[in-house]
Homo-oligomer: A and B are copies of this chain.
Amino acid sequence: MTKTIAVIGGTGNEGPGLAMRWAKSGKYRVIIGSRQQEKAERVAAELNARLGKDLIRGMVNPEAAAAADLVVLTVPYSAQAPTLHSIRSALRGKILVDATVPLQPPKVSRVYVPPGGSAAAETQALLGDEVRVVAAFQNVGAAHLREPDHPIDCDVLVCGDDKEAKAEAIALAEAAGMRGLDAGPLQNAVVVEGLAAVLIAINKRYKVKGAGIKITGLESARTSSE
């Protein structure tokens, strides 16, 4: 059965590119969620026009979450808690992939450790045990994400306490054209989230746009989801 993904906050910086890649892979049905129905539909229509097929639907966030098997959260840190409250009742029993990067503008090249340990840990605390939270996709630069055939030279580090949920996120990374790697428990999300600020610092310092990270030393290992 083809699973349905909802990309909550999917009209922002990161969501549209991921949505387009997942739709194009043929492995998922994709819904873009937004606070406004009209905006969700407009962005979905734009992406479908680029894809040349009507693959992506647009809905308000709570409806998108309710219609999905897998929910991906791509909102700014400041919108994380209110957005989760708005979709909470639709998440019970599901997997939530949290791509939130805890930044404190304007100092976006400084690592910020949220009071709850990490943005993803705060999400897990807010949602409780009935939702399996995994942290992933924080370090994927938006630069080439919307060109679905453009290779992305960045690994997706996946942190979580549930093996099956991590495997789903790793499969999502692969469907979007990246390598997904199990980076340990949800507790490790503080590092993977904070890497986004480090990469912004590197972008500024070396005057580049899309610094990413790759894990080395895995050549001899099986890296696919098992």
- Partner-B contacts on A (CB < 8 A): 109-111, 113, 117, 141, 153-154, 157, 181-185, 187-188, 190-192, 194-195, 197-199, 201-202, 205-218, 220-223
Q: Which of A184, A207, A223 has the most CB of B within 10 A?
A: A184
From B185, B194, B216, A213 is in contact (CB under 8 Å) with B216
The answer on a CB contact under 8 Å between A211 and B202 is no
Q: Given A113-B113, A207-B221, A221-B207, do A201 and B215 touch, yes or no (CB 8 Å)? A: no
A206 close to B191 (CB less than 8 A)? no
With a CB–CB cut-off of 8 A, which chain B residues contact A218? 202, 206, 208, 211
Determine whether the beta carbon of A214 is less than 8 Å from that of B211: no
Residues of B within 8 A of A154 (CB): 216-217
